[in-house]
Structure 1
């Protein structure tokens, strides 16, 4: 009986402590040259905030840069870790001139006049509907603090014209949108060779090994029983269709622990979930297989083959629905392993490239490799006024 009350009591006390600290710290001076970056509330050094932080470091401008870090990540010099949901975290968030986040903020956040809150979002362009566009599938609690969060946001980033138009409605948001691309896409405009070598060396793969990246997104239930890709069959099919020696990188979404996904890894089926940077994996991979993840929509921009494999496609359509019709996508969709293998066998490179060009034109991409620079320019302009 006592144990039953310990956790709720602890959570209540912690929440109270954070609120008290936050409401105290907001009365201290605001440091306009302090930035706090957060990726999934401490879920690793990555996504859009990473590339913005790197641009700050490249400029060596002397600003105070903090990274919300739930574990002992290897952060570059100049970026100071701070544990999420601690007194130190509340202090830095309450006194920082700028916040850069890729997920929603929770219950106790209190934005001050003069603070600049940039929401980079983590999904970007994708197949399944999000936020207000699927409000009936979200919890009332989430919707409530999402609306509060949107009222506090000062800037959203968009990778394309389609995203700019959809964000205002989907995010309960009527503020500015920076139409310069998104920072994590800057890497696609760099020389890929160093990243390819880095990924191969990290996984101990021979030079020339071709890579298939399997990167499904998460379900609200956090279940993984729909991740039934037949890896052995996939490897055989890829080698038959494209030639060469292949390996599969398996990358779970940050909201799904790869430890909960029952898979026996080998020297050709590799656990890429702990790898720090998703974009480096995308650059190094030769094809991608996903379901509703936004990462599949990166490949038309860089011209690599992409395939959708989603056993629960119809279920997701009923609960959240989709932004695009299948016939509008350059990808094929497979509901079973058998369908996926047939689609890979009959993949038409010329037809795919043509569809990718048409799709990119329809969306109106803004990306040109300088999104991180544009964001940092804007922050420095706002904070030095």
Structure 2
């Protein structure tokens, strides 16, 4: 027993020593990389700490590809086999190479307060896209509790950020006053919303082909948010019964795409596809699912505000409303302030689907958008791509 304790302490000391050595090596490399010159045509993108190809960074990158400029587009990813368009090269998010790419890039584009952040040079541009265009759940300085480590990282990140943007006055005010940020905020469309406002049949067909769904079927997307203090049962309800109600109300045959939050992706993998339900948690880009869907069912996810722009129905299923407010997150808006049909149980959801009034719904959406000052023309990706190109050109030509 004594020998086992000694072995355990020895292994723990070895791990501690290795971590210190690794940290020292990284610090030396960091100091070296900070001396390297910036490559004026290099742009580095990150999506949720290397988790897939999506969100605003994706749509900004693809707009830059359309420019046909000589650009070196780097995508930081936890999986270097992630499918990327020609012209975008993957680099492993957690490696030394990622640090090198950041140190030598002209522009950083990120949608989270990344832990993989090195000191920014004066001639580098950092665009923080954030991952919520409006958002229902309180975050950053409005959140009840934040770990000290996150607050330190968020403050450091905000101090290096050069540009943020918003399609609504509510979020713009939050960026200016609740994000520890003192920099520039511009008003423009959200890049990822272009695919919603300029709906393309090819995206609808792409999604249906991916899930082997007949072209004449309608799609309902179920996309709940993450709970830290609830079990898997909170994501369960009689989806088949809801599909039948949607069939009757909206005159067609629906198939449900069930997309759980990435933090609970394992739950999605345990459920087998059926004729009426497909597991969509691992589909790389939720924005394409939103663009293809005819109806959205969610709870507290900010995707409701983006889908609202399509003019298609949004239903909220919030069976844990009181518990969520007590145990998870506070909300910026009371449920009754939202323009969506909110159901507190399954039967309530069925009734609201049956009695859904499209004209009243669209009127409520218009009123809500006016209240929060939301305007989006679907051209946000072009605006941000032009800002990046202009920054590169000014550096190149000394303007």
5+ unaligned residues in a row in structure 1: which ranges? none
Q: In the alignment, does 2:249 pair up with 1:241?
A: yes
Quote the residue 1:284 is aligned against.
292
What is the CA deviation profile of residues 150-203 of structure 1, one whole-angstrom value per residue up to 9, with x for unaligned ones?
Answer: 111111121212211222222111211121111001112324322111111111
Structure 2 residue corresponding to 1:92, chosen from 95, 98, 101: 101
2:367 pairs with 1:383: no
**Contact conserved, 1:226 with 1:312, CA < 8 A, in 2?**
yes
Q: Contact 2:272–2:279 at 8 Å: present in 1 too?
A: no
In 1, Cα distance between the equivalents of 2:93 and 2:58? 17
Question: Residue 3 of structure 2 aligns with which residue?
Answer: none
SS in structure 2 opposite 1:384? helix
The answer for the alignment partner of 1:213 in structure 2 is 221
Q: Determine which structure has more spread, i.e. the larger CA radius of gyration.
A: 2
**Contact 1:18/1:90 (8 A) holds in 2:** no
Aligned residues: 384
Residues 19 and 265 (structure 1 numbering): CA distance in 2 closer, same or farther, change over 3 Å? Answer: farther
Q: Contact 1:67–1:81 at 8 Å: present in 2 too?
A: yes
| 293-302 or 107-116, which deviates more | 107-116
Aligned partner of 2:169 in structure 1 is 161
Cα deviation per residue 1:189-244 (whole Å; 9 max; x = unaligned)?
32432211111111111121011101112234585442123212222222232232
Deviates more, 1:225-234 or 1:140-149: 225-234
Q: Aligned partners of 1:194 and 1:126: how far apart in 2?
A: 28
Of 49-58 and 210-219, deviating more is 210-219
> Structure 2 regions of 5+ residues with no counterpart?
1-7, 395-399
1:17 Cα deviation from its structure 2 partner = 3.6
Contact 1:210 1:246 in 2 (8 A): yes
SS of aligned partner of 1:216: coil
Q: CA deviation at 1:339?
A: 2.0
**Structure 2 residue 314 is the aligned partner of structure 1 residue 306:** yes
Aligned match for 1:129, one of 135, 138, 144: 138
Contact 2:265 2:282 survives alignment (8 Å): no
Contact between 2:255 and 2:277, CA under 8 Å: does it hold in 1? yes
Tell me the secondary structure at the aligned position of residue 385 of structure 2: helix
Which residue matches 1:356? 365
Counterpart CA distance in 2 for 1:3 and 1:269 is 48
Deviation at 1:315, TM superposition (A): 2.8
Structure 1 residues 84-123: Cα deviation after superposition (integer angstroms, max 9, x where no partner): 1211111001111110001112165222221111110112
Which residue among 333, 337, 340 is the counterpart of 2:346? 337
